[in-house]
């Protein structure tokens, strides 16, 4: 059994939907003013079909909504009658075609999805001399298909009160949000921690019931100054643990505290399907996303935003250029093995130092011949680089770029342009390094010992 509600013009769609959902959870919107609903099984709660229809009109009237109500065994019959007859209509099961036979043919245009096509088709049917749904339903289906195609046959079935498809219930919009109005304004992280815990516990239970996880966490703090302090956290994985969400929110608010007392707190999440984890007996388990997220948030609060994560390469010719992305480990067992080289031969690698080591270099005839570690360098750096005579020197490889962006600002990366010579040198003790010097720092081309800040060791060649 199906019901159809057709509201008066100007009716609030939300109010109409609320009326329908009081009688059935399976509701489908057919238009801005029309709703159909599945009433199967509700007779045990409300009584027979006529009682249900009367109760619908009474409920709608209590909400200030004027509606037409029609109940029939099929959705098509209920929709056609609710457009034709005001008030309350109940069609007995099995009499749909009989009751629809006298209705005007123009009702088919009201239940059609395409108004332009329906007007053209109705014009064709009227030219055939058809005036009622019964006239159209009595035509041979084969002849209708030959002249109007499959769409004409579907219209004919609707004219007989037959359903072409099942009811597709609309999923109600569900808000995952909790709000608390405080009796007294609060200041500081500690009292806010208790408030967030009180809000996140029911929110986490709601996510658990719906098998959802939080993809984005929103925290809105209404301040006594009538302003709103809002923070949004993009979570690395769907999660719904209340303690983890509270910890992440507090760590973010410690780095971005509100500038006034708080009198209202709202917590909301953007839901996403829950995370399904399949563990393996053959691989080492990784830490849970909740633990990793908490650790990453604590490190970011300690070191600063943008200073914690995983390095990634950048499409740039700038030496040592890199960027940071959020840390997201991948199962090593699933990662493809990295080849060691063509034919199994080892690959020569350059182990870059995090900060280039300043050295002194003696140059003869434009080529470096001797290198000294700079004495003021820390002892740890002095152990990384040895001093000695250069046996082999390959270079220079001259690179430059970003000269259109600004002035030279070295040795800081990512600022200004660069213009330098690179050398691969092998010392007498067997050590191999990559040296470079900044040609934009006023270097002299003649032989002799260069200034101490002009030469750097970029890395060790293995």
Convert the pLDDT of each residue in 189-218 to its tens digit.
889 999 999 999 999 999 998 889 999 999
pLDDT given for residue 380 in this prediction? 55
Q: Where are the alpha helices (DSSP H) in 304-386?
A: 379-384
Convert the pLDDT of each residue in 143-198 to its tens digit.
888 888 888 888 888 888 888 888 888 777 778 999 999 999 998 888 999 999 99
Q: Which residue has the higher pLDDT, 433 or 318?
A: 433
What distance in Å separates the CA atoms of residue 213 and residue 216, rounded to the nearest whole number? Answer: 9
pLDDT given for residue 408 in this prediction? 45
Instruction: Judge whether 217 and 267 are in contact, CB under 8 Å.
Output: yes
Q: Which residue has the higher pLDDT, 100 or 320?
A: 100
**Helices then strands (H, E): number in the chain?**
13, 18
Which residue from 70, 80, 7, 83 is spatially nearest to 39, judged by alpha carbons?
70
The structure tokens 């925290």 sit at: 219
Mean pLDDT within 338-350: 62
Mean pLDDT within 5-29: 83
* Per-residue exposure over 104-118, b if at least 16 CB sit within 10 Å of its own CB, e if not: ebbbbbbbbeeeeeb
* CATH class of the domain at 177-273: alpha beta
Instruction: Judge whether 262 and 186 are in contact, CB under 8 Å.
Output: yes
In this structure, the strands spanning 27-29 and 2-7 are unpaired
In this structure, the strands spanning 67-72 and 88-90 are parallel
Instruction: Judge whether 64 and 14 are in contact, CB under 8 Å.
Output: no
CATH for 2-159 is: 3.30.70.270
What distance in Å separates the CA atoms of residue 54 and residue 69, rounded to the nearest whole number? Answer: 8
pLDDT given for residue 370 in this prediction? 92
Instruction: Say whether the peptide bond before residue 216 is cis (omega within 30 degrees of 0).
Output: no
Question: What's the distance, CA 181 to chain centroid?
Answer: 29
- CATH 3.30.70.270, the chain: domain bounds: 2-159
In DSSP terms, 28 is beta-bridged to 36
In DSSP terms, 389 is beta-bridged to 370
- CATH 3.30.1490.100, the chain: domain bounds: 177-273
What distance in Å separates the CA atoms of residue 203 and residue 388, rounded to the nearest whole number? Answer: 66
Instruction: Judge whether 327 and 308 are in contact, CB under 8 Å.
Output: yes
Across the chain, mean pLDDT equals 81
């Amino acid at each position: 059994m199906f019901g159809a509600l057709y509201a008066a013009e100007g009716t609030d769609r939300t109010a109409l939907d609320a009326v329908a959902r009081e009688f059935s959870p399976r509701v489908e919107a057919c238009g801005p003013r029309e709703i159909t609903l599945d009433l199967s099984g509700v007779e045990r709660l409300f009584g027979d079909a006529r009682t249900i229809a009367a109760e619908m009109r009474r409920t709608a009237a209590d909400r200030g909504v004027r509606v037409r109500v029609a109940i029939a065994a099929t959705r098509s019959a209920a929709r056609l009658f609710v457009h034709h007859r005001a008030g309350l209509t109940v069609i007995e099961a099995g009499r749909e075609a009989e009751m629809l036979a006298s209705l005007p043919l123009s009702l088919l245009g009201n239940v059609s999805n395409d108004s332009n096509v329906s007007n053209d088709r109705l014009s064709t049917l009227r030219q055939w001399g058809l005036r009622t749904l019964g006239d159209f339903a009595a035509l041979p289906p084969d002849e209708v298909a030959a002249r109007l195609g499959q769409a004409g046959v579907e219209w004919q079935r609707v004219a007989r009160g037959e359903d072409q498809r099942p009811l597709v219930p609309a999923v109600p919009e569900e808000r995952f949000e909790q709000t608390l109005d405080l009796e007294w304004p609060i200041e500081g992280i500690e009292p806010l921690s208790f408030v967030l815990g009180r809000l996140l516990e029911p929110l986490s239970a709601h996510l658990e019931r719906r098998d959802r996880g939080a993809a984005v966490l929103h925290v809105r703090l209404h301040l006594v100054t009538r302003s709103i302090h809002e923070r949004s956290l993009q979570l690395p994985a769907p999660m719904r643990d209340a303690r983890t969400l509270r910890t992440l929110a507090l760590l973010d608010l410690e780095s971005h505290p509100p500038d006034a007392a708080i009198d209202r707190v709202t917590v909301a999440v953007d839901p996403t399907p829950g995370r399904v984890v399949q563990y393996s007996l053959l691989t080492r388990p990784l830490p849970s996303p909740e633990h990793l997220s908490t650790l990453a948030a604590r490190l970011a609060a300690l070191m600063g935003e943008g200073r914690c994560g995983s390095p990634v390469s950048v499409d740039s010719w700038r030496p040592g250029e890199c960027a940071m992305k959020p840390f997201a480990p991948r199962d090593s067992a699933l990662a493809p093995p990295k080849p060691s080289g063509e034919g199994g031969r080892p690959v020569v690698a350059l182990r870059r130092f995090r900060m280039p080591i300043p050295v002194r270099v003696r140059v003869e005839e434009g080529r470096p011949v001797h290198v000294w570690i700079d004495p003021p360098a820390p002892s740890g750096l002095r152990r990384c680089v040895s001093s000695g005579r250069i046996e082999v020197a390959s270079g220079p490889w001259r690179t430059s770029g970003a000269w259109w962006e600004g002035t030279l600002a070295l040795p800081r990366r990512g600022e200004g342009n660069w213009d330098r010579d690179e050398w691969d040198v092998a010392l007498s003790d067997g050590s191999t390094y990559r040296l470079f010097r900044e040609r934009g720092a006023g270097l002299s081309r003649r032989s002799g010992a260069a200034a101490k800040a002009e030469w750097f060791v970029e890395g060790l060649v293995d």
